[in-house]
Chain A
Amino acid sequence: MVFVAGLLTVGWAGPAFAQQAGDDSSCAADKLVTEPGSMAEAVAFYVVGGAAALAALGCVFSVSIVRMAMCLFGTLGCVAILYFLMAASFLGAIQLIVYVGGTLVVIIFGIMLTSTSPWVRYLPRRIEVVAGAVVCLTLFGALAAVLANTDWGPAWPGVEGFTVGQIGEALLTTYLVPFELASVLLLAAMVGAAYLARAERRGGDK
């Protein structure tokens, strides 16, 4: 069931089934296959977005730490499906690799290695629940007001051919400085991780 649903959703958002001969591979970009504004697209968006919201609520309200990780997996996966629905398949695939395959795994590693036991239950006190609810509802109200009163412009036009090659070119020409800054940041993170791992060992040996 899950397999079929996932296949259909991603297939829905992906390009149409490739023809055998005469495949116009110069137009290699993703074609939108639900008309923007159609009923089908609305249904898909609300279903997937609703699932993401439900998973996020589950992550916040669950008491077992591994259930939280699973709900986070659901949220990140649904966001990836939303990216696919918008024909941004590169972004969707990167979301899956980086967030689900990377960040979530690191979070689960952290859970397994640092918590006293993975089977501990986190039960918040009542005052924490009330304070959290107040802050979250205020934030939600503010965001909803801002989003509702923003002029988003016309409903999006058809997406032109936007290939991965063009993204790469843009990253290396127009957006070169942010790209290099991001790589320097990652380098700093890796050096810090190596230092932290090594320092423990030296402290243990000497």
Chain B
Amino acid sequence: MAELTAQQVIASPWTPELRRRGVRLLWLWAGLLAAVGLLCCGGLVARGRGGDPVLMCLLVVGPLAMAGAAMCCVAIIRHHRVVARILLKMGLPIFVGAVAGAVVLVWACSLLLDFVENMVAGQDSAATALRTAYGGELTVAQIQSYLLSDQQRAAGVAGAGGRWATAAYPLWPLQFGLVRDLLLAFGVLAFVAITGAFGIWWERKVAGRIQSRLGPMRVGGWHGWAQGIADGLKLIQKEDVYLAQADRPTYKLAPYLVFVPVLVGFMPLPFGSGWVFRDLDVALIFVLAMVGIDVIGVILGGWASHNKWSLLGAMREACQMVSYEIPMGMSLLVPVMTVGTLKLTEFAAVQSGGFHTWLAFSHPFALVAAVIYFIASLASCKRAPFDLPEAESELVGGFHTEYSGFRWAVFFFGEYAAMFVVSGLAVILFFGAWHSGLPVGWGAGLREGPLWQQALYGLLFSGPLWFIAKAYALLYVQLWLRWTLPRIRIDQVMYACIQVLLPLAMLVLLGSTLWGLLVPPGGWLALAANVLCTVAGATLVIGFIVIAAYGFINRRRLVGTLVVDHLPGS
């Protein structure tokens, strides 16, 4: 192997010669694409199809836009230093723009899927009760006639002559439920990946601020927002290291046994009133079952690593997770008793009347049940103060000591996804599902209006953004608790579960049963309890906001004497 000199190692591969070659290649590409675009434009206009939006987009606007992008790349390469400085300064707008763009993209996809659903439901003549969800009977011609505007239909124009006729070709595969399900599954996977990347960054910032330091500041400009993405890229390209004595199939399977059940648990989790992959009748116990399957992956991961520390971590974790499933399930029965169903989408209707109708504030037992559920869910996600399985100060990494690179990333994504799932369950069952605190009836007129009014309704009254915001708020509380509370020993963990939380959960269950049976729903006792719990909850929320605002206003003072002005994100 040739020896590398220090000069060769340090020198950047981005030499001026390489830049010149890149610029020449990009000019070639730009020229070719522009030629293709102009030729297609001429051809389409000559054939009289110039008004066809789909073909114009695909064959003309697309290549011309790519040519423009190539020329922008040329400009960036020519003046890369200036561009880099500008990008670093614009970190915050880029981040906000990316988030807003993602939200708009998801909304557009949901509108498209609604349109396809309406098309399939309207045209499908086989209205039997046992309709197959994966078959489809529409031909391209039928779709084209569906896409005609009303005027054209009245004038008797044939389907293929309509303006959007070529859009029927990409719409045709979308009529099959299988294709739509694949798209939605991909969307869920993307959301989990984004939650993981965002969670990494947020955890490190929160940890930093609580420990009087800053956290990531450089990657991506504004406060290191791209740190999660950078970590993901780093982990993917790492070398696949594993022990020779590790049991290969089990070792490779264990991370996926932790990650996949949590992803499947996202399936019945509704993000909004139509935003659910499958509206299962037994959604709640399905999600609980999926969170419970995690235990097996952790145990197998610890065993397969052929390492006594991993095995210890795995056994502790199994004890802990299995024991805490009991108070978790019992405390979740309290809102189930109030609403009377296990279907997660039906909890939103009960809580749509405003902040005081949220199920956690209906009576004191529900409030205590919410707290018990939250603590039990901390234990089932292996988060501090119950993070013995991954106790960094004792067991190196616990059950994931011997995992590195992408396998560790899978464990990690599984943990963040599980945190989101349990937070999401808490939001749906206790804290108002996807409604904001305002009564939904005030915005009823907005819901039927045009698109911009629907967007306003979604932002103000009820929508998936509120669900995600509330779930992230609970996730933030989990992050906050991790860096505030010390870790507790395994015998203290079991004591807390079996001698504190379990009797408390039983008392709460009994109390809420008696409350439901004996207290008349509109009477003075119910009203007084509702008011009391609402005031308690509102105090907590307002107190949280006030403390956060105080910390934000005094953020430089909290960091101490650390000089921050020279860093890129400040």
- Residues of A in contact with B (beta carbons under 8 Å apart): 2-4, 6-8, 10-12, 14-21, 23, 25, 28-36, 38, 40, 64, 66-67, 70, 73, 89-90, 93-94, 96-97, 100-102, 104-105, 108-109, 112, 118-119, 158, 163-165
Contact = CB atoms under 8 A, between A and B. Distances in A.
Contacts of A29: 281
Interface string B172-194: 00000110111001000100000
Contacts of A164: 281-282, 341-342
Contacts of A23: 279
A17 B264 CA distance: 16
A35 B285 CA distance: 26
22 contacts: A3-B185, A3-B259, A8-B181, A12-B133, A15-B279, A17-B180, A18-B279, A18-B345, A19-B274, A25-B345, A25-B346, A38-B132, A66-B250, A70-B250, A70-B300, A96-B290, A101-B289, A101-B322, A105-B322, A108-B318, A109-B318, A164-B282
A66 B477 CA distance: 37
A4 B187 CA distance: 12
Interface centre among B189, B296, B311 (most CB of A within 10 A): B296
B509 to A, nearest CB: 15
B295 A101 contact: yes
Interface string B108-152: 000000100100010000000111111000000000000000000
B343 interface: yes
Contacts of A10: 264, 267, 278
Contacts of A25: 343, 345-346
B278 A14 contact: yes
A100 B273 contact: no
A105 B282 contact: no
Given A14-B280, A70-B253, A97 B288 contact: yes
B340 A165 contact: yes
Contacts of B117: 17, 19
Contacts of A70: 250, 253, 300
Contacts of A67: 249-250
B293 interface: yes
Contacts of B341: 28, 164-165
A93 B289 contact: yes
A158 B129 contact: yes
B339 to A, nearest CB: 11
B457 interface: no
Given A101-B292, A112-B311, A3 B132 contact: no
Contacts of B129: 31, 158
A25 B270 CA distance: 15
Contact of B293 (A31, A66, A90, A101): A101
Contact of B121 (A15, A19, A32, A165): A19
A65 to B, nearest CB: 10
A112 B315 CA distance: 8
A3 B189 contact: yes
Nearest to A77: B293
Given A6-B264, A105-B295, A100 B289 contact: yes
A123 B274 CA distance: 55
A205 to B, nearest CB: 16
4 nearest A-B pairs in the assembled complex, by CB-CB distance: A101-B292, A20-B274, A96-B289, A18-B279
B131 to A, nearest CB: 7
B429 interface: no
Contact of A6 (B260, B278, B281, B292): B260
Contact of B130 (A14, A94, A158): A158
Given A89-B281, A112-B315, A16 B264 contact: no
B52 interface: no
A15 B345 CA distance: 14
A67 B311 CA distance: 16
A101 B325 CA distance: 10
Contacts of B286: 89, 93, 96
Contacts of B267: 7, 10-11
A132 to B, nearest CB: 25
Contact of B132 (A33, A94, A97): A33
Interface in B251-296: 253, 256, 259-260, 263-264, 267, 273-274, 276-282, 285-286, 288-290, 292-293, 295-296
Given A18-B345, A28-B281, A33 B131 contact: yes
Given A30-B281, A112-B299, A12 B134 contact: yes
Nearest to A30: B281
Given A64-B247, A66-B250, A101-B325, A163 B292 contact: no
B365 interface: no
B303 interface: yes
Contact of A18 (B130, B259, B274, B299): B274
A104 B296 contact: yes
A122 to B, nearest CB: 15
A148 B62 CA distance: 62
Contacts of A6: 260, 264
Given A7-B185, A17-B279, A89-B281, 5 more contacts: A7-B263, A8-B185, A101-B293, A101-B322, A119-B306
Given A89-B286, A97-B292, A105-B296, A15 B130 contact: no
Contacts of B177: 16-17
Contacts of A34: 132, 134
Interface centre among B253, B280, B285 (most CB of A within 10 A): B280
Given A2-B260, A18-B345, A112-B315, A93 B282 contact: yes
B282 A89 contact: yes
Interface centre among A40, A101, A165 (most CB of B within 10 A): A101
Contact of B181 (A11, A21, A94, A102): A11
Contacts of B288: 97
A115 B346 CA distance: 47
A17 B133 contact: yes
Contacts of B306: 119
Interface centre among B129, B250, B289, B342 (most CB of A within 10 A): B289
B250 A108 contact: no
Interface in B291-314: 292-293, 295-296, 299-300, 303-304, 306, 311
A112 B250 contact: no
A64 B256 CA distance: 21
Contact of A11 (B259, B278, B345): B278
